[in-house]
Amino acid sequence: MRADAHRFLVVDDDPDIQQVLVDLLFSLGYTADAVGLGRDAIDRVRAAEYDLVLLDQALPDIPGADVLRQIKHISPNTEVIIVTGQSSLDSAIAAVRFDAFDYLEKPFGVGVLAEAVEKAIHRRRGRLEEHHRLEALVRQHELERVGDTPTRAASDRALWESVVRDCPDALVAAGTDRVIRLANDAAVRLIGLPASEMVGRPIESLIELGEYEDLVWGALDTRDSLTGFETFIVNRCTDRRIAVEINWSVLRDGDGMRIGALAVCRDVTVTRPLLHVMNEANQELQALAVSDPVTGLYNHRHFQAALRVEVERARRHNRSTSLLMIDVDLFKPINDTYGHAFGDEVLRELARAIEGELRATDVPCRYGGDEFAVVLPETDADEARRVAQRMLDTVRALPVRPPRGSEALRLSLSIGVATYPEDGETAGDLIASADSRLYLAKQSGRSQVAAETERPGSLAR
């Protein structure tokens, strides 16, 4: 087990998701603490050093981006993986800019988490090694400056020059005026200019900082390092734009006075695109795992999980959640008359019609066969009934032409409605209640919405 080697922190306001993440990490050999608030996470990071933080983007007290910034300010070498249920390009870019290692969208499998964790730990190990190497450089610099004897000074200078020259990462040192004073051999290869041509140039002319130039130098005014900054360098020989990760360190003289900054640049054009491609592939696999292959809606497995989550969320926040159970009236004769291929096309048309009446936060699913189910978060019984009625009206007006014959088929739905908490306090209770009302709708003549268990005369037609 690796549990004793690394310390992790899970930050999520949902206790169920907290436990799932802790259990997943344990299955990978890691132990983790867990908190539900951003301020608690910040306090934990102040009190103890964590190797990795799994951070929910949407927290009730502090935005996830602000928590990320504070964690990286307190402990720059702690890796952070953002976990979110509502991703966007802007939030992903912000996470990367503020040095989150990765960005995982719920739901994700144990394989995706394992890969991200292993890569994050690998990067942290590299950062710590780099930090120790820089400390050694500073110690050698001090030895050179103080020098017990000329022989000792010469030996120290040779060691210093060897370390700088042979370092595999590009080292670029600039003074407080932001003008380059030193560049090693790796920097020559990365930037494509001789060291003699780099020295004397503004560092911004070779390393793209853009709007972040003042942010970088401002941060180095108040602390000794800034790690994981990502930007681009254009190689002057090939004109190739190279993605780099830069770790900045303040340079001081023997009296502790700030004399400049050292940029340690690592080419990440190989690892980052591969990580991006693997993430895209994982997302495709995740989509396949939760999607119905015929309609493209969520499948039965995802429906069960989503309903449990929404019921638990409604319980925790004292809100309503509704469920629609939907059956296509007289669907079997369509299959028997026109074949299953046409039947599948009808199901796809119905899926599009159902989805068209929903919000982005609703969860439309194919329950099985000719049945659909829709989870309506934060929706009370009256609103759920109205949504169901709109679906019914839309499908009634849907013209579907069979492969043979000129007359369009007239489709209709029978829909059962159930709402938490009045119709049940668990996902199973809601399914049973909505299913019984669906049966009532069909027994009462089909093509109607049943939102109550009794009084069939009150069914909406």
SS3 328: strand
- The edge-to-edge listing of strands for the beta sheet with 79-84 is 32-35, 8-11, 52-56, 79-84, 102-105
Which has more pLDDT, 41 or 224? 41
Determine the pLDDT at residue 281: 53
> Are the C-beta atoms of residues 254 and 143 closer than 8 Å to each other?
no
SS3 225: strand
pLDDT in tens, 16-66: 888 888 888 888 888 899 999 999 999 999 988 899 999 998 888 888 888
Q: What value does the mean pLDDT of the chain take? A: 81
| Distance between CA atoms of residues 85 and 20, nearest Å | 14
Determine the pLDDT at residue 456: 42
Which has more pLDDT, 401 or 106? 401
pLDDT in tens, 89-103: 556 555 655 667 787
**pLDDT band, very low/low/confident/very high, at 165 (cuts 50, 70, 90):** confident
Q: Please state at what angle helix 110-146 crosses helix 150-166, rounded to 10 degrees.
A: 150
Query: What average pLDDT does this structure show over 134-143?
Result: 54
> Are the C-beta atoms of residues 379 and 311 closer than 8 Å to each other?
no
Query: What average pLDDT does this structure show over 277-304?
Result: 75
**Buried residues in 214-238 as b, exposed as e (16+ CB within 10 A):** eebbebbeeeebbbbbebebeeeee
| Distance between CA atoms of residues 386 and 417, nearest Å | 10
Q: Is 70 exposed, middle or buried (0-12, 13-18, 19+ CB in 10 A)?
A: middle
Which has more pLDDT, 155 or 125? 125
Determine the pLDDT at residue 404: 73
| Distance between CA atoms of residues 73 and 383, nearest Å | 46
- Helix boundaries (H) for 56-101: 64-74, 89-97
- As a whole-number percent, the residues of the chain with pLDDT over 70 amount to 80
> What's the gap between Cα 193 and its chain centre?
38
List of residues 6+ apart from 184 with CB closer than 8 A: 164, 165, 167, 170, 171, 195
Q: Which two tokens stand for residue 58?
A: 């949407």
What pTM does this model have?
0.44
**pLDDT band, very low/low/confident/very high, at 83 (cuts 50, 70, 90):** confident
E strands along 235-369, which residues? 241-252, 258-267, 321-328, 363-368
| Distance between CA atoms of residues 165 and 145, nearest Å | 19
Q: What CA–CA distances, in Å, run from 261 to 12, 171, 252, 398, 402?
A: 37, 10, 8, 68, 73
Q: Which two tokens stand for residue 140?
A: 């050698």
Go through the domains of the chain in sequence order and give each one's CATH number.
1-164 (3.40.50.2300), 167-290 (3.30.450.20), 292-458 (3.30.70.270)
β-strands 241-252, 258-267: how paired? antiparallel
Candidates 259, 2, 258, 39; CA nearest to 114 is 2
Determine the pLDDT at residue 411: 93
Q: Reply yes or no on whether the pLDDT at 137 is more than 60.
A: no
Q: Reply yes or no on whether the pLDDT at 434 is more than 80.
A: yes
Determine the pLDDT at residue 458: 46
| Distance between CA atoms of residues 401 and 272, nearest Å | 49
